[in-house]
């Protein structure tokens, strides 16, 4: 069995006993769940702000500029929160998982080092952009925003390259529990597993940001505030999300095929496939118990068809790995189905938006449409987190797939639950602060210096 080839287990710092491994994992998960939506805004929101500013400069219509300027305040506030949640993550790399970093820092660390530069550039140009309104020439100001979009991409590229390496490690040999013969560039960037993950996440950034921003204006409309300001501010993010959501279905399908190839046990957990099967069926919904999916809707041969484009293809089942090396199946399954379910809803909503646009050239009138958009905001975040749970919990019990178990990576220090509780308290406070500031920014009176603008107080 190739699984055993990697043993003896990798570890640079020696064995550990950590009774609070689960708390450490939960703490890491909490940190990611808080950071990831901010990442989405870092990826996609600058582009939306710049589109608005560009529209304003092109048409000379001050409405666009007003929107861009108000959005840029949201952008910098969320970026500031992203800086601190990202700092927490970088601390946790060492504080929670010292043996992971000690053993493999030389392999994957390069990705984070480059990401650090990317983050740097993002911070610099966000500072220039946000504090440069009215102080730089319009053209210089618009140009100062472009690096923010580029670094949003390079940053996610670097971080995903590390995650892809954890899921599909390469570029080193393991001798006596230590990584030797390390080729960091190859490990990070010559990895087949990188590209679908990167594209999937990058598009997710646009979907989440697009729907969350659109949802804010959908709520405004449901509350009776629907001036040209809201219509314009909704049209841009909603259209971007509407275009990206159907694309994500295709990219997700590609990602699933790559998982089938490279991490068959993860796919088996996603689908609840107990035994290696030819012409494997797919189960929608249901619950995995005692080696089968109960109460699920069975679609014969569908899994083989989706994963390998062949209805009779052989799909590896959970029996390929001993029980101790399987991820928690129902967690992975449930989060996968959540992601796919919401993703399908978002794609359908996006298709509806595009269809109505082509047919009627305006946003729909129906109240239900705005209810759906308002729901799409939070749902897209749920789908995002579900996707990450699928891939990260699906990788368990390994931190580096089939090389290092998570239990070997964790710190030997005590007090992990205290840190976990502390982080909850802190992040609840930060979350309350973010809600407060977003409401405050939204409530600031909209002043469009043109008589045609309609203004209503909340």
Please pick, from the candidates 26, 227, 276, 344, the single residue that binds another protein as defined by CB under 8 A. 227
Structure tokens at 336: 């996968």
Please pick, from the candidates 99, 304, 380, 396, the single residue that binds another protein as defined by CB under 8 A. 99
Question: In which residue are the tokens 């504090």 written?
Answer: 131
Cis peptide before 397 (omega within 30 of 0): yes
DSSP assignment, residue 323? G
For residue 422, CA distances in Å to 30, 289, 418, 436 come to 12, 36, 6, 21
**Interface positions, 357-396, toward another protein (CB under 8 A):** 357-358, 361-363, 365
**Least spacing, CB of residue 343 vs another protein, in Å:** 15
**Least spacing, CB of residue 128 vs another protein, in Å:** 6
Phi, psi of 36 (to 5 degrees): -65, -40
For residue 217, CA distances in Å to 212, 229, 249, 419 come to 9, 9, 25, 38
Please pick, from the candidates 29, 32, 138, 371, the single residue that binds another protein as defined by CB under 8 A. 138
Interface map 231-270 toward another protein (x if CB under 8 A): xx--xx--xx--xx--x--xx-xx----------------
Number of residues that bind another protein (CB under 8 A): 130
Rounded CA-CA distance 21/73 in Å is 39
Q: Is 400 near another protein (CB under 8 A)?
A: no
Closest Cα to residue 218, out of 380, 424, 60? 380
- Local structure of 315: helix, strand or coil: strand
Q: Is 59 near another protein (CB under 8 A)?
A: yes
For residue 398, CA distances in Å to 10, 25, 190, 354, 417 come to 11, 12, 21, 42, 21
**Closer Cβ to another protein, 241 or 385, answer by number:** 241
**Closer Cβ to another protein, 262 or 319, answer by number:** 262
Rounded CA-CA distance 428/271 in Å is 34
**Least spacing, CB of residue 439 vs another protein, in Å:** 9
**Interface positions, 310-349, toward another protein (CB under 8 A):** none
Q: End-to-end distance of the chain based on CA atoms, in angstroms?
A: 65
**Interface positions, 411-440, toward another protein (CB under 8 A):** 411-415, 419, 422, 426, 429-430, 433-434, 436-438, 440
**Closer Cβ to another protein, 58 or 223, answer by number:** 58
**Interface positions, 281-310, toward another protein (CB under 8 A):** 309
Q: Is 173 near another protein (CB under 8 A)?
A: no
């Amino acid at each position: 069995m190739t699984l055993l080839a990697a043993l003896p287990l990798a570890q640079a710092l020696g064995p550990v006993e950590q009774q609070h491994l689960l708390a450490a994992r939960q703490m890491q998960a909490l940190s990611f769940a808080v950071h990831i939506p901010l990442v989405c805004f870092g990826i996609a929101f600058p582009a939306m702000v710049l589109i608005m500013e560009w529209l304003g400069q092109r048409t000379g219509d001050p409405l666009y500029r007003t929107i861009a300027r108000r959005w840029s305040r949201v952008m910098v506030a969320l970026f500031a929160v992203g800086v601190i949640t990202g700092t927490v993550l970088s601390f946790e790399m060492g504080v929670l998982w010292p043996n992971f970093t000690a053993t493999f820092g030389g392999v994957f660390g390069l990705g984070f080092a480059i990401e650090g530069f990317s983050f740097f550039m993002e911070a610099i140009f966000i500072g220039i952009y946000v504090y440069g309104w009215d102080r730089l020439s319009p053209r210089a100001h618009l140009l100062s925003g472009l690096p923010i979009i580029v670094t949003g991409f390079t940053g996610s590229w670097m971080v995903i390259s590390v995650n892809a390496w954890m899921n599909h490690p390469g570029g080193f040999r393991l001798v006596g529990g230590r990584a030797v013969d390390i080729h960091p560039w190859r490990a990070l960037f010559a990895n087949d597993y990188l590209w679908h993950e990167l594209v999937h996440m990058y598009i997710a950034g646009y979907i989440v940001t697009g729907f969350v921003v659109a949802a804010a204006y959908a709520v405004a409309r449901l509350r009776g505030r629907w001036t040209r300001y809201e219509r314009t501010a909704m049209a841009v993010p909603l259209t971007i999300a509407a275009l990206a959501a159907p694309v994500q279905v295709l990219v997700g399908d590609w990602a699933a095929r790559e998982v089938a190839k490279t991490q068959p046990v993860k796919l088996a957990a996603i689908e609840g496939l107990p035994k290696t099967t030819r012409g494997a069926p797919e189960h929608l919904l249901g619950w995995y118990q005692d080696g089968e999916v109960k109460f699920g809707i069975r679609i014969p041969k569908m899994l083989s068809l989706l994963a390998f484009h062949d209805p009779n293809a052989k799909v590896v089942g959970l029996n390929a790995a001993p029980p101790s090396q399987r991820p928690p199946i129902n967690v992975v399954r449930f989060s996968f189905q959540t992601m796919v379910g919401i993703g399908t809803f978002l794609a359908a909503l996006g298709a509806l938006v595009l269809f109505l646009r082509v047919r009627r050239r305006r946003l729909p009138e129906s109240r239900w449409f705005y209810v759906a958009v308002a729901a799409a905001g939070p749902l897209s975040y749920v789908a995002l987190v579900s996707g990450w749970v699928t891939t990260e919990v699906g990788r368990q019990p390994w931190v580096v797939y089939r090389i290092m178990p998570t239990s070997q990576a964790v710190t030997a220090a005590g007090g992990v639950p205290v840190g976990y509780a502390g982080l909850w308290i802190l992040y609840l406070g930060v979350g309350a602060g973010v809600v407060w500031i977003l409401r405050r920014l939204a409530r600031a009176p909209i002043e469009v210096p043109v008589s045609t603008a309609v203004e209503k107080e909340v």
